A and B are shown apart, each in its own frame.
Chain A
């Protein structure tokens, strides 16, 4: 079964933000708030649409706003994938 990893999420969000350098800050700090990692609500909205497209997971805006860190978002997506 397909699952999402922290580095896959970071790759998506890097692309959303238009950054060319890659880092592994999600794995180093999986519980850091998205804002502290440089991602605002627009970046999260775009991440939501990429996740819908690439993983077939349709997160509600409410669910999305409840996920405040990379780990929480990855867990949310993976719970959805496991239940599907």
Chain B
């Protein structure tokens, strides 16, 4: 495989729930001081909860599973954002950002829609509210949204459209189970998504309502770097960026990742870089006709989940391919 230097407009893809894995980013925290500084800044803004999050994240045997929303969500936000800051510090200038679910909040923060303190307040508030949501789960179905829709039981909703034939559903435990049974009987393949909260289902409506006043009180500015919205599939408008309702309703709105990715890829040849743990979004991006044909390329900063001791090396290799020279 080519290991040469990559060029072209830089697009950052920032992952969300399902990208998390035990130990993600901890090697960078130990070996890359610039990354650790940003992570510490974020933990500090989280207060006492930040101390606990940090120690559990670094622990060999964490008290709370990484798949639990109060671990996965703040950590994915923090790692996505910290990696983005690192790229900016290296002098790289992304031309567009696209985040998946909580990754969109990281992207918006990197783009200056929210200041860091405000973004951390949004994440903390949201995670606090998840405790009030009935237990549920998520699953990825190898089928289109139209194929899945008729099989959804009440209490189960479309959570994400990740690819033409990859649709994520979310809901309470029991109706999710019967929906998945029905899908299996209809001949569809599915796999569970590691999540303890049915993200992007109607069950999260109370979280949206509760976030309203907080979001209305926080300053929001138009993005300094163009952002493709995972909720409209188009470029985020200045009005949307300033609309508290747009941000508040993320937990119930389905993530239209594939439509958004298609919009992004349509802007011309570019380099799509996964700015967060894992390589899930770049794997999906490899299915884009623009990538299949070689007009656009993809690169995951960290690559597939690996041992933390190898993360700094992975990142250095990615930096070299991007032509960046970390200070």
Contact = CB atoms under 8 A, between A and B. Distances in A.
Contacts of B65: none
Interface of B: 1, 140, 142, 144, 163-166, 189-191, 279-280, 283-287, 289, 291-292, 304
Contacts of B191: 41-42, 45
Listed residue (B166, B287, B292, B304) with the most chain A CB atoms within 10 angstroms of its CB: B287
Contacts of A48: 189
Given A18-B163, A21-B292, A40-B284, A35 B279 contact: yes
Contact of B1 (A23, A32, A38): A32
A17 B1 CA distance: 23
Nearest to A21: B289
Q: Number of contact residues on A: which range applies?
A: 20 to 34
A43 B142 contact: yes
19 contacts: A16-B142, A17-B166, A17-B287, A18-B144, A18-B163, A18-B165, A19-B164, A21-B289, A32-B1, A35-B279, A38-B284, A39-B283, A40-B166, A40-B280, A42-B140, A42-B191, A45-B189, A45-B191, A46-B189
Given A17-B165, A18-B163, A42-B189, A37 B142 contact: no
Interface of A is mostly: helix
A79 to B, nearest CB: 23
Nearest to A38: B286
Given A18-B166, A38-B285, 15 more contacts: A16-B142, A16-B165, A17-B163, A17-B164, A18-B163, A23-B292, A36-B1, A38-B292, A39-B283, A40-B166, A40-B284, A42-B166, A42-B191, A43-B142, A46-B189
Nearest to A50: B189
Contacts of A49: 189
A25 B287 CA distance: 12
Given A36-B1, A37-B286, A40-B283, A18 B164 contact: yes
Interface of A: 16-19, 21, 23, 25, 32, 35-43, 45-46, 48-49
A18 B283 CA distance: 14
Given A21-B292, A45-B189, A38 B165 contact: no
Contacts of B291: 38
Nearest to A32: B1
A45 B142 contact: yes
A49 B190 CA distance: 11
5 closest A-B pairs by CB: A38-B286, A18-B164, A18-B165, A46-B142, A46-B189
A41 B1 CA distance: 22
A36 B286 contact: yes
